[in-house]
Amino acid sequence: MPFYTEDQSKIISNLFPERAEEYNQLLESFGDFVEKEILPTARTIDKQGIFPKENMDKIFRQGFTNIPYPQDLEGLGLPYPIYIACMELVGKACASTAISLAIHGTVCDGLYRFGNREQHEKYLKDLITGRKLAAFGLTESNAGSDARAMTTQAILDSSGHWKINGSKMYITNSAKADYYFVFAKTDKGYAAILVPNETQGFSWGSNITKMGLRGSSLMGLNFDNVLVPKENLVGENGEGFEYAKKMLFGGRITIAALSVGIAQAALEKTITYSKEREAFGKHLSEFEITRAKVADMMTEIHGARLMTYYAALLKGREQDFGIEACEAKLYATEMALRVCNHAIQIHGGYGYTDEADVHRHWRDAKLMTIGEGTSEIMQVIISGKAFE
């Protein structure tokens, strides 16, 4: 079975009928690369908690974050759903690698949309090509879902610098990033400021261990009278919170894609195992109850994939995509948990063991229902549309 699935290929063909052959060839070859180069280390990365820098560099060399950006920024100028299809493939191979890339991609998106030409030249080119790595700093100890409650503060001082004080919590790529896209309170509301990692007064906390995505780096960030030039303000002072919301809408499509990839990996392992394992003189795959579960897994994955690629199409066409992104994230992330749960169940006792390497997918999927806005916050946003 090719790593790039038939279902992905059919959707891409129908989204882009005129370029179907070209895009499918590209994605098939990206899938082959991911299967050969990324998949084999995924288990060790999880077991040993290794930051997947090597994987990320290999993927950057293939061209990945630069897929949807214009060529004058060293982008590939391809449609956004192609990036999302690649994200699904990386998620299927190694979710720790995919989450680190997804967060990096969210920063690239924000810098592209809200940064100026100088920032594009100075920072964005290096980021989309993977020469530099980014982190997204929004969450604080008392400001998660309620991000407006942040207390990190930035003041423009008389020397033309933003002076930042405060701390952030649960930041992916922390300690590994070159640039931090930091949100802070200012005299005009909120601002987004780019902080380079070598800035004096800036530090990160210790590594936070977690149930899944064990290769990704998670730490807090501390700002103790950190001074960055006023030119590092992204967009307008006062608009920072709006930028965060818009970046998260885009990020949610990547989280949905990653979840579809995780679920696809669990499904494929389950199909293989159920054709091998015997009970009562039959293969598990011959039991109707097993088949019904597999049918539900396939149907849910297909549904989530359609929602995700559709949200990506809207984003790429610069149409409103916020609600569709939240719906895709809500459905795909909860779906991935259901699919991984079936996968463990069909693997029986073996599924519960480390040896089977099936519960890794459930552990990885769980974060997807929390990060970049919890499932409950997705419900708040989506239902808000119904009652506006």
* Contact indicator for 154, 162 with CB cutoff of 8 Å: yes
Q: Which is nearer to ligand FAD, 279 or 380 (CB)?
A: 380
Of the ranges 44-52, 89-97, 198-206, 373-381, which one interacts with ligand FAD (CB under 6 A)? 373-381
| 245 counts as binding ligand FAD under rule CB under 6 A | no
Position 145 contacts ligand FAD (CB under 6 A): yes
Choose between 144 and 196: whose C-beta lies nearer to ligand FAD: 144
Minimum distance, C-beta of residue 291 to ligand FAD, in the bound complex (Å):
34
Look at residues 358, 349, 250 and name the one whose alpha carbon lies nearest to residue 297. Answer: 358
**Is 210 a binder of ligand FAD (CB under 6 A)?**
yes
Containing 139, the helix (H) or strand (E) segment is none
Q: Can you name the residues that pair with 288 across neighbouring β-strands?
A: none
Count of residues near ligand FAD by CB under 6 A: 22
Q: Which of residues 348-367 bind ligand FAD (CB under 6 A)?
A: 367
CB 247 within 8 A of CB 109: yes
Nearest-10 crossing angle of helices 6-15, 288-316: 30
| Residue 316 near ligand FAD by CB under 6 A | no
Build a one-symbol-per-residue string for 122-141: x at contacts with ligand FAD by CB under 6 A, - elsewhere.
--------------xxxx--
Which of 86, 103, 255, 313 touches ligand FAD (CB under 6 A)? 103
Query: Among 324, 327, 334, 372, which one carries the catalytic annotation?
Result: 372
Does the protein bind ligand FAD through residue 295 (CB under 6 A)? no
* Binding of residue 377 to ligand FAD (CB under 6 A): yes
In order, the DSSP letters of 316-333 are HTTS--HHHHHHHHHHHH
Phi and psi at residue 379, to the nearest 5°: -65, -40
372 is catalytic: yes
Strands (E) located in 112-263: 134-137, 153-156, 161-172, 179-186, 189-196, 202-204, 218-229, 233-234
Instruction: Tell me the three state secondary structure of residue 71.
Output: helix
CA 377 to chain centre: 17
In the complex, least distance from residue 103 CB atom to ligand FAD, rounded to whole angstroms: 5
Q: Which residues bind ligand FAD (CB under 6 A)?
A: 103, 136-139, 144-145, 170-172, 210, 213, 218, 367, 370-374, 376-377, 380
Q: Please give the positions annotated as active site.
A: 372
